[in-house]
Structure 1
Amino acid sequence: MAAAPARCGGGGLSLCLASAGVVKALSIAAFTLAWMHSIEKTAWQEDWLVAPAGLTLQQARIKGTGAGMEPPPEARLVDGWFQWSPPPMPRPEVVFGNSGAAGEWHLCHAGRCQTLSEIFGHPIGANVTTMRVCKNP
Protein backbone atom coordinates (compact mmCIF):
# COMPACT_ATOMS: atom_id res chain seq x y z
CA MET A 1 0.00 0.00 0.00
CA ALA A 2 1.33 3.46 -0.92
CA ALA A 3 2.31 5.93 1.76
CA ALA A 4 -0.08 8.79 2.46
CA PRO A 5 0.75 11.94 0.46
CA ALA A 6 2.61 14.71 2.27
CA ARG A 7 0.66 17.78 3.38
CA CYS A 8 2.06 21.04 2.05
CA GLY A 9 -0.72 23.62 2.51
CA GLY A 10 -3.15 25.18 0.03
CA GLY A 11 -5.96 23.34 -1.79
CA GLY A 12 -5.97 20.32 -4.09
CA LEU A 13 -2.90 18.36 -5.15
CA SER A 14 0.59 19.76 -5.62
CA LEU A 15 4.07 18.48 -6.28
CA CYS A 16 6.29 18.63 -3.19
CA LEU A 17 10.04 18.78 -3.59
CA ALA A 18 12.22 18.22 -0.52
CA SER A 19 15.97 18.75 -0.32
CA ALA A 20 18.37 19.56 2.51
CA GLY A 21 15.49 19.99 4.99
CA VAL A 22 13.50 22.41 2.80
CA VAL A 23 10.14 21.57 1.19
CA LYS A 24 8.71 23.46 -1.78
CA ALA A 25 5.14 22.88 -2.99
CA LEU A 26 4.36 23.56 -6.66
CA SER A 27 0.73 23.74 -7.78
CA ILE A 28 1.14 21.70 -10.95
CA ALA A 29 -0.65 18.62 -12.28
CA ALA A 30 2.03 17.58 -14.78
CA PHE A 31 5.67 18.42 -15.41
CA THR A 32 8.79 17.37 -17.29
CA LEU A 33 11.96 16.45 -15.45
CA ALA A 34 15.01 17.05 -17.67
CA TRP A 35 18.72 16.42 -17.20
CA MET A 36 21.96 15.58 -18.94
CA HIS A 37 23.29 12.03 -18.59
CA SER A 38 26.48 12.30 -16.51
CA ILE A 39 28.60 9.94 -18.66
CA GLU A 40 27.21 10.28 -22.19
CA LYS A 41 26.34 14.01 -21.85
CA THR A 42 23.07 13.29 -23.65
CA ALA A 43 19.71 14.90 -22.89
CA TRP A 44 17.08 12.87 -21.04
CA GLN A 45 13.48 13.94 -20.33
CA GLU A 46 10.59 12.39 -18.43
CA ASP A 47 6.97 13.57 -18.38
CA TRP A 48 5.27 13.02 -15.01
CA LEU A 49 1.66 13.26 -13.85
CA VAL A 50 0.75 14.38 -10.30
CA ALA A 51 -2.31 12.37 -9.18
CA PRO A 52 -3.90 11.15 -5.93
CA ALA A 53 -2.38 7.66 -6.44
CA GLY A 54 1.14 9.14 -6.71
CA LEU A 55 3.60 10.34 -9.34
CA THR A 56 3.23 8.50 -12.64
CA LEU A 57 5.80 8.50 -15.42
CA GLN A 58 3.88 9.13 -18.66
CA GLN A 59 6.68 9.23 -21.23
CA ALA A 60 10.49 9.12 -21.34
CA ARG A 61 12.79 10.49 -24.03
CA ILE A 62 16.53 10.31 -24.65
CA LYS A 63 18.47 12.14 -27.35
CA GLY A 64 20.83 9.23 -27.99
CA THR A 65 22.02 5.91 -26.67
CA GLY A 66 25.01 4.82 -24.66
CA ALA A 67 26.20 3.52 -21.31
CA GLY A 68 23.21 3.05 -19.01
CA MET A 69 20.73 4.68 -21.34
CA GLU A 70 19.61 2.06 -23.78
CA PRO A 71 16.00 2.68 -24.83
CA PRO A 72 13.60 -0.24 -24.42
CA PRO A 73 12.53 -2.26 -27.48
CA GLU A 74 9.22 -0.36 -27.74
CA ALA A 75 10.99 3.04 -28.05
CA ARG A 76 10.52 4.90 -31.30
CA LEU A 77 12.75 7.57 -32.84
CA VAL A 78 10.70 10.78 -33.15
CA ASP A 79 12.31 14.12 -34.09
CA GLY A 80 15.73 12.91 -32.95
CA TRP A 81 14.52 11.52 -29.60
CA PHE A 82 14.02 7.88 -28.65
CA GLN A 83 10.70 7.98 -26.81
CA TRP A 84 8.47 5.47 -25.07
CA SER A 85 5.63 5.26 -22.58
CA PRO A 86 6.27 2.80 -19.76
CA PRO A 87 3.35 0.99 -18.12
CA PRO A 88 1.68 3.38 -15.66
CA MET A 89 2.88 2.75 -12.13
CA PRO A 90 2.10 5.44 -9.53
CA ARG A 91 4.99 5.99 -7.14
CA PRO A 92 4.58 7.43 -3.63
CA GLU A 93 7.90 9.24 -4.08
CA VAL A 94 10.82 9.61 -6.47
CA VAL A 95 14.30 10.21 -5.03
CA PHE A 96 17.22 11.48 -7.09
CA GLY A 97 20.61 13.09 -6.61
CA ASN A 98 23.13 15.08 -8.57
CA SER A 99 26.64 13.78 -9.16
CA GLY A 100 27.78 17.21 -10.29
CA ALA A 101 29.17 15.66 -13.50
CA ALA A 102 26.51 16.94 -15.91
CA GLY A 103 24.77 20.01 -14.52
CA GLU A 104 21.50 20.30 -12.67
CA TRP A 105 18.09 18.72 -12.92
CA HIS A 106 15.47 20.94 -14.56
CA LEU A 107 11.76 20.94 -13.84
CA CYS A 108 9.65 22.21 -16.75
CA HIS A 109 6.00 23.26 -16.68
CA ALA A 110 3.88 25.44 -18.97
CA GLY A 111 6.81 26.18 -21.30
CA ARG A 112 9.18 27.28 -18.51
CA CYS A 113 12.13 25.32 -17.11
CA GLN A 114 13.92 25.98 -13.84
CA THR A 115 16.83 24.28 -12.15
CA LEU A 116 16.17 22.77 -8.74
CA SER A 117 18.48 25.43 -7.28
CA GLU A 118 16.26 28.14 -8.80
CA ILE A 119 13.13 26.50 -7.38
CA PHE A 120 14.64 26.17 -3.89
CA GLY A 121 16.28 29.61 -4.02
CA HIS A 122 19.74 28.29 -3.12
CA PRO A 123 22.27 25.83 -4.58
CA ILE A 124 21.19 22.19 -4.22
CA GLY A 125 24.64 20.79 -5.00
CA ALA A 126 24.90 17.05 -4.30
CA ASN A 127 21.94 16.96 -1.89
CA VAL A 128 19.31 14.31 -2.57
CA THR A 129 15.91 15.61 -3.73
CA THR A 130 12.63 13.79 -3.09
CA MET A 131 9.48 14.38 -5.15
CA ARG A 132 6.04 13.36 -3.94
CA VAL A 133 2.41 14.33 -4.23
CA CYS A 134 1.20 16.79 -1.60
CA LYS A 135 -2.41 16.39 -0.59
CA ASN A 136 -3.45 19.76 0.68
CA PRO A 137 -6.27 20.31 3.18
Structure 2
Amino acid sequence: MAGTLIIALAPEGRFTLEWVHSVEKEGWREEWQLTEEGLSNTRAAVKGSGAGMEPGEGGHWEGRWWVWQPKGQPIQRLVLAASGATGSGWRLCGADCVTLGSTGGEPILIEPCGQDGDHPAG
Protein backbone atom coordinates (compact mmCIF):
# COMPACT_ATOMS: atom_id res chain seq x y z
CA MET A 1 0.00 0.00 0.00
CA ALA A 2 2.82 2.40 -0.84
CA GLY A 3 1.55 5.95 -1.18
CA THR A 4 -1.65 5.24 0.72
CA LEU A 5 -2.79 7.49 3.54
CA ILE A 6 -5.58 6.19 5.74
CA ILE A 7 -7.60 8.87 7.53
CA ALA A 8 -10.05 8.16 10.33
CA LEU A 9 -13.40 9.84 9.79
CA ALA A 10 -15.52 11.58 12.38
CA PRO A 11 -18.31 9.52 13.99
CA GLU A 12 -20.93 8.35 11.49
CA GLY A 13 -18.46 8.62 8.58
CA ARG A 14 -18.55 12.39 8.14
CA PHE A 15 -15.76 14.59 6.83
CA THR A 16 -15.28 18.15 5.59
CA LEU A 17 -13.16 19.18 2.63
CA GLU A 18 -12.06 22.83 2.37
CA TRP A 19 -9.90 24.67 -0.16
CA VAL A 20 -9.28 28.08 -1.74
CA HIS A 21 -10.57 28.53 -5.30
CA SER A 22 -7.57 28.86 -7.65
CA VAL A 23 -8.97 31.83 -9.63
CA GLU A 24 -11.22 33.75 -7.24
CA LYS A 25 -9.04 33.08 -4.14
CA GLU A 26 -12.16 32.53 -2.01
CA GLY A 27 -12.99 29.68 0.33
CA TRP A 28 -14.98 26.60 -0.68
CA ARG A 29 -16.26 23.98 1.76
CA GLU A 30 -18.02 20.65 1.27
CA GLU A 31 -19.42 18.29 3.88
CA TRP A 32 -19.41 14.60 2.99
CA GLN A 33 -21.05 11.52 4.48
CA LEU A 34 -20.00 7.90 3.95
CA THR A 35 -23.11 5.81 3.25
CA GLU A 36 -23.75 2.27 2.05
CA GLU A 37 -24.16 3.75 -1.46
CA GLY A 38 -20.82 5.60 -1.38
CA LEU A 39 -19.65 9.15 -0.64
CA SER A 40 -22.47 11.67 -0.51
CA ASN A 41 -21.93 15.44 -0.65
CA THR A 42 -24.47 16.67 1.92
CA ARG A 43 -23.69 20.42 2.05
CA ALA A 44 -21.55 22.88 0.11
CA ALA A 45 -20.59 26.50 0.71
CA VAL A 46 -18.63 29.20 -1.11
CA LYS A 47 -17.38 32.46 0.34
CA GLY A 48 -18.57 34.80 -2.39
CA SER A 49 -19.23 34.04 -6.03
CA GLY A 50 -17.40 34.42 -9.32
CA ALA A 51 -15.75 32.33 -12.02
CA GLY A 52 -16.72 28.72 -11.31
CA MET A 53 -18.05 29.57 -7.83
CA GLU A 54 -21.75 30.09 -8.39
CA PRO A 55 -23.88 28.83 -5.49
CA GLY A 56 -25.89 25.70 -6.23
CA GLU A 57 -29.65 25.49 -6.60
CA GLY A 58 -31.39 26.62 -3.42
CA GLY A 59 -28.30 28.52 -2.25
CA HIS A 60 -28.86 30.97 0.56
CA TRP A 61 -26.64 33.41 2.44
CA GLU A 62 -25.36 32.32 5.90
CA GLY A 63 -22.93 34.75 7.48
CA ARG A 64 -20.25 35.27 4.83
CA TRP A 65 -21.01 32.07 2.86
CA TRP A 66 -23.44 30.96 0.15
CA VAL A 67 -24.69 27.55 1.34
CA TRP A 68 -26.72 24.84 -0.43
CA GLN A 69 -27.43 21.12 -0.44
CA PRO A 70 -26.01 19.42 -3.57
CA LYS A 71 -28.43 17.12 -5.38
CA GLY A 72 -26.02 14.58 -6.93
CA GLN A 73 -25.98 10.83 -6.37
CA PRO A 74 -23.39 9.24 -4.07
CA ILE A 75 -20.04 8.52 -5.71
CA GLN A 76 -17.57 5.67 -5.11
CA ARG A 77 -14.42 7.79 -5.37
CA LEU A 78 -13.58 11.48 -5.06
CA VAL A 79 -10.60 12.55 -7.23
CA LEU A 80 -8.64 15.70 -6.34
CA ALA A 81 -6.15 17.04 -8.91
CA ALA A 82 -2.85 18.00 -7.28
CA SER A 83 -1.25 20.56 -9.60
CA GLY A 84 0.69 22.39 -6.89
CA ALA A 85 -0.09 25.61 -8.78
CA THR A 86 -2.95 26.86 -6.61
CA GLY A 87 -0.89 28.00 -3.64
CA SER A 88 -2.58 25.64 -1.20
CA GLY A 89 -4.06 22.18 -0.97
CA TRP A 90 -7.25 20.75 0.41
CA ARG A 91 -7.90 20.53 4.14
CA LEU A 92 -9.69 17.30 4.94
CA CYS A 93 -11.13 17.06 8.46
CA GLY A 94 -12.54 13.83 9.83
CA ALA A 95 -11.56 12.75 13.34
CA ASP A 96 -8.43 14.89 12.74
CA CYS A 97 -7.42 17.34 9.99
CA VAL A 98 -4.79 16.90 7.29
CA THR A 99 -3.72 19.01 4.28
CA LEU A 100 -3.62 17.15 0.96
CA GLY A 101 -2.25 18.11 -2.46
CA SER A 102 -0.40 21.30 -1.58
CA THR A 103 2.39 20.28 -3.97
CA GLY A 104 2.12 18.87 -7.48
CA GLY A 105 1.79 15.15 -7.95
CA GLU A 106 -0.55 12.34 -8.81
CA PRO A 107 -4.29 12.89 -8.28
CA ILE A 108 -5.51 12.22 -4.75
CA LEU A 109 -8.21 9.58 -4.42
CA ILE A 110 -10.63 9.66 -1.51
CA GLU A 111 -12.55 6.44 -1.19
CA PRO A 112 -13.78 4.15 1.56
CA CYS A 113 -11.66 1.22 2.70
CA GLY A 114 -13.03 -2.28 2.23
CA GLN A 115 -14.86 -3.94 5.10
CA ASP A 116 -11.61 -5.49 6.32
CA GLY A 117 -9.78 -2.14 6.15
CA ASP A 118 -8.09 -2.91 2.83
CA HIS A 119 -8.01 -0.41 0.00
CA PRO A 120 -10.86 -1.21 -2.44
CA ALA A 121 -10.05 -2.83 -5.76
CA GLY A 122 -10.27 -0.82 -8.96
Q: In the alignment, does 2:85 pair up with 1:104?
A: no
**Equivalent residues, number:** 112
Q: What pairs up with 1:1-137 in 2 under 5 angstroms? A: 22-28=3-9, 29-87=13-71, 89-99=73-83, 100-110=85-95, 112-116=96-100, 124-137=103-116
Superimposed CA distance per residue, residues 66-102 of structure 1 (whole angstroms, 9 cap, x where no aligned partner) = 1011112410000110000012511011111133223
SS of residue matched to 2:45: strand
TM-score, normalised on structure 1?
Answer: 0.72
TM-score, normalised on structure 2?
Answer: 0.81
Higher relative contact order (CA 8 A, sep 6+): 1
CA contact (8 A) 2:56 2:69 kept: no
The separation in 1 between residues aligned to 2:36 and 2:114, in whole angstroms, is 8
The separation in 2 between residues aligned to 1:96 and 1:130, in whole angstroms, is 6
CA contact (8 A) 1:35 1:105 kept: yes
Question: How high is the sequence identity, in percent, across the aligned residues?
Answer: 33
SS of residue matched to 1:114: strand
**Counterpart of 1:3?**
none
CA contact (8 A) 1:98 1:128 kept: yes
Gaps of 5+ in 1: 1-7, 9-20, 118-122
CA contact (8 A) 1:39 1:67 kept: yes
Q: Which amino acid aligns with 2:88?
A: G
Shift of 1:114: 1.9
How well do the aligned residues superpose, as a CA RMSD in angstroms?
2.0
- Structure 1 stretch displaced more, 90-99 or 40-49: 90-99
Q: Stretches of 4+ moved more than 3 A in 1? A: none
Q: Judging changes above 3 Å, is the alpha-carbon distance between structure 1 residues 124 and 136 closer, same or farther for their aligned structure 2 residues?
A: farther
Shift of 1:131: 0.9
